[in-house]
Amino acid sequence: MSDLTIKRRSLLKSVSMAAVGGQALLRTGNLQAAVDEATRSVESWPQMEYRELGKTGFQGSRLVFGCGAALSNGQANDLLEPALASGINVFDVGFRSYYRDAEMNLAPFLKKHQDEIFLISKAIAGDISAEDELSVAEAKTAANNWLKALDASLSELQVDHVDAYYLMAANNVSLIRSEEIQMAFDEARTTGKASHFGISTHENAEQVLLAAADTGWYSLAQIAITPAGWYDFANKDILAGSKNMQELQPVLAAARKAGIGLIGMKAGRHLAGRKWFGWGSPNAYDGYYDENVMSASLTAFQRSYAYVLANGLDAVNADMQIWQHMRENFAAATSAQTYFV
């Protein structure tokens, strides 16, 4: 290769980095953010904070890399290595039927780093409504569906073990409490396929979380919660009649007492919204913040993440598909105790 070719490539790279950095500077007004985005460097980022994730005993980063949507079409594959370098050590994904290629796209990263991270995946056990009272036969079918999904996830991820596998979209108390689902997880643990059992829910969350705590079987719960209370995924709003997060402290405390690590999701979803569809409000949670928080250099999304982390959650799961969002989410996760005391 000629010196001229090398110089030309170097020039093109420099021009490209300058363009990215310039766009970031215009967007954020922050010179360091612009430099970081241009170089894809995490060296200037603050130290990640960690919390023990329930009875897993694992010291997990307060920001969880949500791989499901982000890797479904491979759009955020290039963020995995910088995320790990920044201190994020919990990676959450999900089964193919919902998240398409996400598990498959995570596999190359796992080949290099599985021993360095806490790996979570999840699957739906069946078409079960929150109101159903499951028979033993129905619960057994759901448990078998979950075990089959676990095997499929392991194949997609190209691993023989995950640190935790969730019942995804868990909304039914009778399933949460069923001996059939407990036996399914015992089988997964005995065969070395999964070390910890968890739930992921954004429907009937309070009753599901209390039921999970009462059984003593679950190590983790990923819940759709905001400063204003439970998030209603079906209606893209705060759940009607929900207690706010301060009022939900006894529920969260009961889960923690049972050894359940609490991971939030959808903390800022209501803020984005789609106003032309009639939902979403960027200022929805401002009434929960004091003047110190409102005057801080935090976006509405960062405030919501920092608030839930400072008020009972161990970590927050964030869908990060571009560098800017990862950087902003990281800043929120490392500032929770600074602004909310």
The CATH number of the domain holding residue 155 is 3.20.20.100
If asked whether residues 328 and 179 sit together in one domain, one would say yes
Identify the residue whose tokens are 């929960």: 288
Statement: the pTM of the whole predicted model exceeds 0.85 = yes
Average pLDDT of the chain is: 88
If pLDDT is split at 50, 70 and 90, which confidence band does 27 have? very low
Q: Per this entry, what is the length of the chain?
A: 341
Task: Give the H/E segment covering residue 150.
Answer: helix 136-157
Residues 278, 162: one domain? yes
**DSSP three-state, residue 51:** strand
Which amino acid makes up residue 215? T
Domain ranges, residue 66: 48-339
pLDDT at 339: 82
* Sign of the torsion angle spanned by Cα atoms 174, 223, 154, 70: positive
pLDDT, average across residues 303-310: 93
Q: What is the pLDDT of residues 171-228, one digit of tens each?
A: 999 999 999 999 999 999 999 999 999 999 999 999 999 999 999 999 999 999 999 9
The yes-or-no verdict on residue 26 having pLDDT over 90 is no
Residues 258 and 285 in one domain: yes
Q: What is the per-residue pLDDT for 34?
A: 55
**Where does the pLDDT of residue 7 fall: very low under 50, low under 70, confident under 90, or very high at 90 and above?**
very low
Same domain for 28 and 89, yes or no, is no
Question: In terms of domains, do 203 and 263 share one?
Answer: yes
Degrees, nearest 5: CA angle 123-110-154:
35
Quick check: 28 pLDDT over 90? no
Contact 295, 246 (CB under 8 A): no
What pLDDT is stored for residue 329 in this prediction?
93
- Our count of domains for the chain comes to 2
Same domain flag for 126 and 201: yes
Residue 279 is predicted with a pLDDT of 56
Q: How confident is the model at residue 270 (pLDDT cuts 50, 70, 90)?
A: confident
Determine the Cα–Cα distance for residues 238 and 280; give it in Å rounded to an integer.
10
Confidence of residue 19 (pLDDT cuts 50, 70, 90): very low
- 117 and 256 inside one domain: yes
pLDDT confidence of 37, banded at 50, 70, 90? low
Specify whether 27 is located in the same domain as 107.
no
Q: What is the largest CA-CA distance in the chain?
A: 74
Asked if residue 262 and residue 293 are part of one domain, the reply reads: yes
CA distance linking residue 61 with residue 69, whole number of Å: 20
The predicted structure's pLDDT at residue 29 = 53
| Residue given tokens 């209501």 in the structure block | 270
